[in-house]
Structure 1
Amino acid sequence: MLIWTARVSKKTKAVVAVILAGILAAAVLLLVGRSGGGQDAAAWQLTGNADRIAYLESMGWQVEEEPVETLQFLLPEKLEEPYLTYNELQDSQGFDLSACCGKQVARYTYTVTNYPGRPEGVQANLYVCEGQPVAGDILCAGADGFQDTLVYPEQD
């Protein structure tokens, strides 16, 4: 049987604790960053059109250079329908509109050019509050239309 002992000062213990805490924090940030959607949206500052396009491209979408519509509106102090239902869709991708209650929100609508199996008729809505993405969806109107999250669909 072998017994090994070592004398470690309080200073050394503190340094090791700080290093381990840093490694743990880096691991948490890495895992949160990999979860996609709005989880890392706070890292984006969308101050101009190029920033918004870059954000959508980071999600896998290719869009036309200029938005087809821009809309500014004041989000109510308390979310009610239809915002509550829409916020459920947003929650599934890591966004939460309730953080913007009572604030000015801008919606930018872009034409999507790379939706799998749909060469036209698909749009991306991106909602921005105080320079940060707070919601978004992919929309296709019509009889066989749909509304989905910004998460790029996996192809079969």
Structure 2
Amino acid sequence: MLIVTAKVPKRKLAFGVALAAMACCCALVLNLGTSAVREVASPSVPDPKGVKTNEDRVAYLADFGWQVSPEPIATQEMLIPKEMDESYNEYLALQSGQGFDLEKYAGKRAKRYTYEITNYPTGEAGVQVNLLIYKNTIIAGEVLSPQLDGFLHGLAMP
């Protein structure tokens, strides 16, 4: 271990501390302007709670940028399996990546609402979006193409 000591007059030490404090203040002031812009520009995730009506569901999807059919093309009551085997791993990972914890609702009954998306970026027709709702809370969702060579992804616009 190496220890270095130095004698510094109190006047020079006070000047150095004041100079360092001024540099920190300047850095903070300059950084505040850019961090405020970052906060405003960052996208926000819509609140999945309090989704009671069809209008609430359509508005929730609109917050992601989706335009959908005004009414669901299908509504289905579902029982979420109590135990999910490995065949659910990819789906659970997709939902988890969006902030949904579907395993928390294992064994519960939920409703799935399916809407047709009218503004999919590729222009493909027939693309659908599903929302799985338990007691006015969205617990899962995905965008999919029901075509033979279709796709499945989260609610965020690609």
- The TM-score, its normalising length taken from structure 2, stands at 0.68
Q: Which residue of 1 aligns with 2:50?
A: 45
Distance 1:82 1:70 in 2: 24
User: In structure 2, the residue corresponding to 1:145 is in which secondary structure?
Assistant: coil
1:109 CA drift (Å): 0.3
Distance 1:129 1:94 in 2: 15
Unaligned 5+ runs, structure 2: 1-10, 15-38
Q: Which residue of 2 aligns with 1:112?
A: 117
Structure 1 pair 82/35, CA: closer, same or farther in 2 (3 Å)? Answer: farther
Distance 1:105 1:84 in 2: 19
Matched, 1:138 2:143: yes
User: In structure 1, the residue corresponding to 2:76 is in which secondary structure?
Assistant: strand
One-letter code of the match for 2:77?
Q
Distance 2:122 2:154 in 1: 17
Q: Which residue of 2 aligns with 1:75?
A: 80
Q: Which residue of 2 aligns with 1:125?
A: 130
Q: Which residue of 2 aligns with 1:62?
A: 67
User: In structure 2, the residue corresponding to 1:79 is in which secondary structure?
Assistant: coil
Matched, 1:93 2:63: no
1:134 CA drift (Å): 0.7
1:59 CA drift (Å): 1.0
Check whether the contact 1:126–1:136 (CA below 8 A) recurs between aligned residues.
yes
Distance 1:48 1:143 in 2: 32
One-letter code of the match for 2:51?
L
Distance 1:113 1:60 in 2: 11
RMSD value, Cα:
2.5
Q: Deviations over 1:5-40 (max 9, x none)?
A: xxxxxxxxxxxxxxxxxxxxxxxxx79x9563xxx5
- The TM-score, its normalising length taken from structure 1, stands at 0.69
Distance 1:117 1:58 in 2: 19
1:80 CA drift (Å): 2.4
Unaligned 5+ runs, structure 1: 3-29
1:135 CA drift (Å): 0.6
1:88 CA drift (Å): 1.0
1:91 CA drift (Å): 1.1
1:118 CA drift (Å): 2.1
One-letter code of the match for 2:83?
K
Q: Percent identity?
A: 40
Q: Which moved more, 1:126-135 or 1:81-90?
A: 81-90
Structure 1 pair 51/121, CA: closer, same or farther in 2 (3 Å)? Answer: same
Check whether the contact 1:41–1:134 (CA below 8 A) recurs between aligned residues.
no
Give the one of 144, 148, 154 matched to 1:149: 154
Distance 1:87 1:51 in 2: 24
